[in-house]
Amino acid sequence: METRPELLTIDETAEFLRVSDKTVRRMIDDGRLKAVAIGRQWRIPREALAELTRPGGDCHMTVKRCISVVLVFVLGLFLAGCGPSKPLINTLPWDVAAYSYELAAEVATTWRPVPADPGYKWLVLEVAIANKSSRSERLNPFIYEFEFALSGKRYVNQLVWDDTVGGLGWSRDVQPGQKVRGDIYFQVPASLTGLSGARLVMRDTIRGEAAGWDISSVPQR
């Protein structure tokens, strides 16, 4: 008699991997996580999680990852205004600096402008990302994301695939000590007028590691 595989919901998978349900859906969409459709719902075979969490896999629960989960919790306190303006430890292979920002109704791409949604506008933030590790690292948008955090709200960067004019070049290999510079984009409320009290967070959505930077003093261009 054939044994049917145990299937988990997206919420159960997110809890198992210690990530958000949004991250699980993205992993399914880009093929990193096997899933089966039952009606209109995704179900994830437990054996697919075993592949991810095996030693050497993307989500293997090592001591390093356990420590990083604690660091993410501490970072959450920082974002809530309960800590210093810089993280105690940046466990990512990247250092990030912000140079300038602008607020815009639309963002230019090589084929058409992309307007902000009603009630929102674009925060265009110029950043430089440096590889501080001793090996080549890939700036992979399937793994890394940015968050703009202000007044208890968080906004994830967008337009990664839209070939924006002046945008940060994703999906590239960055050598040790090399720095890449360009714009990242967030849709923020139309009422936003400045960056006072704002933080920029870079997150590894697979391993749960994150680091944050105070961008309150970044000038408008």
pLDDT in tens, 95-108: 999 999 999 999 99
Q: Are residues 32 and 99 in the same domain?
A: no
Single pTM value for the model: 0.62
In the predicted structure, residue 56 carries a pLDDT above the cut 50: no
| CA nearest neighbour of 147 among 198, 102, 194 | 198
pLDDT score, position 193: 94
The percent of the chain in helix, strand and coil, each rounded to the nearest 5, is 20, 35, 45
Q: Are residues 77 and 170 in the same domain?
A: yes
Q: Which residue has the higher pLDDT, 218 or 171?
A: 218
Q: Are residues 93 and 196 in the same domain?
A: yes
**Could you tell me if residue 119 is inside a domain?**
yes
Confidence of residue 80 (pLDDT cuts 50, 70, 90): very low
Residue for token pair 């984009």: 185
Q: Are residues 24 and 133 in the same domain?
A: no
In the predicted structure, residue 135 carries a pLDDT above the cut 90: yes
Residue numbers of the domain that contains 42: 7-59
